[in-house]
A and B are shown apart, each in its own frame.
Chain A
Amino acid sequence: MRLLTAAVALTLVVTSAGVAGETVSITLPPESIALDAGRGMDQTQTSCRMCHSLDYITTQPGGGTAQWQGVVTKMMKVYGAPISDQDAKLIEEYLATHYGPR
Chain B
Amino acid sequence: MRDRVDEVSRRRFLLTAGVAAATVYGCRLSFAADVDPLLAGRQLVRYPEKTDLILLTARPPQLETPLSYFDRAITPNDAFFVRYHIFPIPTSVDLDQWRLEVKGHVDKPLSLSMDDLKRFPPASVTAVVQCSGNSRGRFAPRVLGGQWGDGAMGNAVWTGARLQDVLKAAGARASALDVTFDGLDKPAFPSVPDFVKALDLQRIMSDPDVIVAYEMNGQRLPMLNGFPARLVVPGWYATYWVKNLSEITVLTDRFEKFWMKPGYRIPDTPCGCVEPGTAPKNTVPITRMTVRSFIASPASGTRVAVNQPVALKGIAFDGGYGIREVQVSDNLGLTWSRATLGPDHGRYSFREWSATWRPTGAGNARLMVRAVNGIGESQGYEPLWNPAGYLRNVIEQIALVVD
Q: Say if A and B assemble together.
A: yes
Cross-chain contact of A21 among B44, B47, B95, B142 (Cβ < 8 A): B95
A28 touches B91 (CB 8 A): yes
A31 touches B142 (CB 8 A): no
A59 touches B37 (CB 8 A): no
Q: Answer whether residue B375 sits at the interface, using C-beta atoms and an 8 A cutoff.
A: no
A1 touches B57 (CB 8 A): no
A29 touches B47 (CB 8 A): yes
B65 to chain A, nearest CB (A): 13
Interface residues of A in 21-44 (CB under 8 A from B): 21-29, 31-33
A80 touches B43 (CB 8 A): no
Q: Answer whether residue A60 sits at the interface, using C-beta atoms and an 8 A cutoff.
A: yes
A12 to chain B, nearest CB (A): 9
B43 CB contacts on chain A under 8 angstroms: 1-4
A19 to B159, CA, bound (A): 15
**B89-118 Cβ-contact flags toward A at 8 Å (1 or 0):** 001111110000000000000000111001
Interface residues of A in 1-22 (CB under 8 A from B): 1-6, 8-10, 19-22
A10 touches B147 (CB 8 A): no
A26 touches B58 (CB 8 A): no
A21 CB contacts on chain B under 8 angstroms: 95-96
A93 to B83, CA, bound (A): 30
Q: Which interface residue of A8, A19, A21, A80 has the most chain B CB atoms within 10 A?
A: A19
Cross-chain contact of B144 among A8, A23, A52, A60 (Cβ < 8 A): A60
B49 CB contacts on chain A under 8 angstroms: 10, 26
A87 to chain B, nearest CB (A): 17
A51 to chain B, nearest CB (A): 6
Q: Which interface residue of B43, B58, B114, B193 has the most chain A CB atoms within 10 A?
A: B58
A19 touches B56 (CB 8 A): no
**A71-83 Cβ-contact flags toward B at 8 Å (1 or 0):** 1000000011100
A20 touches B44 (CB 8 A): no
Q: Answer whether residue B223 sits at the interface, using C-beta atoms and an 8 A cutoff.
A: yes
Cross-chain contact of A51 among B42, B113, B188, B228 (Cβ < 8 A): B188
A29 to B193, CA, bound (A): 25
Q: Which secondary structure dominates chain B's binding surface? A: loop
A78 to chain B, nearest CB (A): 8
A50 CB contacts on chain B under 8 angstroms: 189
**B202-225 Cβ-contact flags toward A at 8 Å (1 or 0):** 000000000000000000100110
B57 touches A59 (CB 8 A): yes
B45 CB contacts on chain A under 8 angstroms: 4, 6, 29
Given the known interface contacts A56-B57, A102-B37, the answer about A24 and B220 at a Cβ–Cβ threshold of 8 Å is: yes
Given the known interface contacts A8-B46, A52-B57, the answer about A27 and B91 at a Cβ–Cβ threshold of 8 Å is: yes
Chain A interface category by residue count: 35 or more
A31 touches B188 (CB 8 A): no
A73 to chain B, nearest CB (A): 12
B59 touches A28 (CB 8 A): yes
Cross-chain contact of B47 among A19, A28, A79 (Cβ < 8 A): A28
Q: Answer whether residue B166 sits at the interface, using C-beta atoms and an 8 A cutoff.
A: no
A3 CB contacts on chain B under 8 angstroms: 43-44, 52
A71 to B56, CA, bound (A): 18
B102 to chain A, nearest CB (A): 19
Cross-chain contact of A20 among B52, B87, B96, B147 (Cβ < 8 A): B96
Q: Answer whether residue B60 sits at the interface, using C-beta atoms and an 8 A cutoff.
A: yes
Chain A residues packing against B (C-beta within 8 Å): 1-6, 8-10, 19-29, 31-33, 50-53, 55-56, 59-61, 67, 70-71, 79-81, 102
Chain B residues packing against A (C-beta within 8 Å): 37-38, 41-49, 52, 54-61, 86-87, 91-96, 113-115, 118, 142, 144, 146-147, 187-193, 220, 223-224, 227-228
Given A22-B95, A31-B59, 15 other A-B residues pairs in contact with their CB atoms under 8 A: A19-B114, A22-B220, A23-B95, A24-B223, A26-B91, A27-B48, A28-B61, A33-B58, A51-B87, A51-B192, A55-B55, A59-B38, A59-B57, A59-B146, A80-B192
User: Would you give 13 A-B contacts (Cβ < 8 Å), ordered by A?
Assistant: A1-B54, A2-B41, A4-B43, A19-B114, A19-B115, A20-B115, A23-B95, A26-B92, A29-B58, A52-B57, A55-B58, A60-B144, A79-B192
